[in-house]
Amino acid sequence: QVLLQQWGAGLLKPSETLSLTCAFYGGSFSGYYWSWLRQPPGKGLEWIGVINQSGYTNYNPSLKSRVTISPDTSKNQFSLRLTSVTAADTAVYYCARGWKWDYVDYWGQGTLVTVSS
Amino acid sequence: QSMLTQPPSVSGAPGQRVTISCTGTNSTFGAGFDVHWYQQIPGTAPKLLIYGNNNRPSGVPDRFSGSKSDTSASLAITGLQAEDEADYYCQSYDHRLSSWVFGGGTKLTVL
């Protein structure tokens, strides 16, 4: 059974760096695409970026200058780093898996990250 | 601002058929990129409902179906059930933006 479990700090101050990690259980890390998405409270979904084990990366242009998604294949994990956060980055962040580059088929449980001074 | 346009809400009675539209552009559906649909029950993570325009993942009832034509797509739900009450999002790729794009979401209410 496929399971994605994610964790990370839930409360940040403006200008700090958001850091989240997602662990994948129930299969091989290779051969899939690994994504982060987010959803501000009461709003719709926003894609952050996607990577795979082979070095493919694609980031949302609106976030590209602040985002890094990194794989750790030895642990079946991948991580999200978002620098210089502001209140506009307050959202539930989801990690997700896709077997193609352009959508996701399994989601993590979500992590609420609040940016407040 | 969403790059894909969905109606904010739709409703239907149990047993009825409802459709949710998703309008794209010449740089999304019109350029040949697929549309995918997700269901999100409030307070939970989204769930993949339809991928590649009209394919259902294992476990998704055949009451759900998707279609795409030129710059528009739609999700149809037949035999509406109370458990279908949720938010529905369409998603595709915009090659001009080099980004995945989502619709703003449609809230389905089962009357």
What pLDDT, in 10s, does the model give residues B15-34? 999 999 999 999 998 899 99
Q: Check if A61 contacts B (Cβ < 8 Å).
A: yes
For residue A27, give the 3-state DSSP assignment. coil
Between CA A67 and CA A37 the distance in angstroms is 12
The yes-or-no verdict on residue B1 having pLDDT over 60 is no
- What DSSP assignment string belongs to B36-57? EEEEE-TTS--EEEEBTTTBPP
Residue of chain A whose alpha carbon sits nearest to that of B57: A105
Q: What is the dihedral of CA B83, B87, B92, B97, to 10 degrees?
A: -170
A-B C-beta contacts closer than 8 Å: 51
- pLDDT digit string (tens) for B56-100? 999 999 999 999 998 999 999 999 999 999 999 999 999 999 999
For residue B84, give the 3-state DSSP assignment. helix
**In Å, how far is A72's CA from the nearest CA of chain B?**
24
- Given A60, A105, A108, which is nearest B99 (Cβ)? A60
SS (H, E, C) A62-106: CCHHHEEEEEEHHHCEEEEEECCCCHHHCEEEEEEEECCCCCCCE
pLDDT score at A29? 85
For residue B95, give the 3-state DSSP assignment. coil
Residues of A in contact with B47 (CB under 8 A): 107
pLDDT score at B28? 92
Q: Check if B7 contacts A (Cβ < 8 Å).
A: no
Residues of B in contact with A33 (CB under 8 A): none
Residues of A in contact with B46 (CB under 8 A): 45, 94, 107
The yes-or-no verdict on residue B2 having pLDDT over 80 is no
What are the residue ranges in chain A where pLDDT is below 70? Answer: none
* CB A79, CB A20: distance < 8 Å: yes
CB atoms within 10 A of CB B19: 14
Between CA B95 and CA B20 the distance in angstroms is 24
Residues of A in contact with B38 (CB under 8 A): 45
Between CA A103 and CA A96 the distance in angstroms is 9
